[in-house]
Amino acid sequence: TLQSACVESAMVVPSRVARLARLGRSLGGRVSRRTLAVERPVEDSELFTFPRERPGLDYALNWSLNGDGVTPGGDAYRLTKASQAVKLLGGEAPAISGSASPAGEVDEAEFDAALDGAISRLEAAPVLYVPEGDAPSTRLPCRIITDDLPLAASAMGHILEQMPLRQPAELPVTCFVTPAGADFAAFDIFDEEGEERVKIVLAGAQATPPKLKATLELAASKLLKPNEAAEA
């Protein structure tokens, strides 16, 4: 159908939306990825054929990940319950041992360069894991995009709090986490369509559950208004 074709088109355009958005930022100001046009196929006499959805292939999830700037190069698994991560892992989620200091904010250009690198590595991964839940001790929806299954399982089992199930969508807090690449840890708070959002990048040796937990707690506290933080 035309609707399926539109979804597929977002998957095969290699991060075009994300790269155009980041180019817009470099030319002055933040640009919402949702406002950028993506070429759509036109229905004609030809028959469009697409693979059936299956575990690891969810068109709605891939579409929403494209909105985050990530076009999966392979399978992508959305995790909304700890039991899903345990099933994929084949055992209990690793407990979080030790503690870490939270990442901080850095220069925008430095953050954007690290984000680009993390996205490139995530797009090259054969499998992505997408844990979703509320940031610790809040009702602030959070999405983690990672190629590290044990870390994803730890996030679902010991960091994120279960939130009401909803359709896959971009969320106020998005974490890009990969053990590949140079060490990096930082977050960025920015405005998108009048709403404040947070992006967190953890890479290399900084991509650990303790670092993720500490940074999520700090970033979420900065995003929440004082009265919301008190209620959380």
> Which residues, in sequence order, are CB contacts of 58 under 8 Å at separation 6+?
76, 78, 168
Name beta bridge partners: 173: 142, 198
Kindly report, residue by residue over 5-47, the tens digit of the pLDDT: 444 444 444 444 444 445 454 444 444 433 333 344 444 446 5
Give Cα 142 distance to the centre of its chain: 8
What's the length of the chain? 232
Kindly report, residue by residue over 147-159, the tens digit of the pLDDT: 999 999 999 999 9
Kindly report, residue by residue over 38-53, the tens digit of the pLDDT: 344 444 446 566 678 7
Q: How far apart are CA 122 and CA 92, in angstroms?
A: 24
Closest CA to 198 of 142, 160, 147, 149: 142
Q: How many CA atoms lie within 13 A of 69 on its CB side?
A: 26
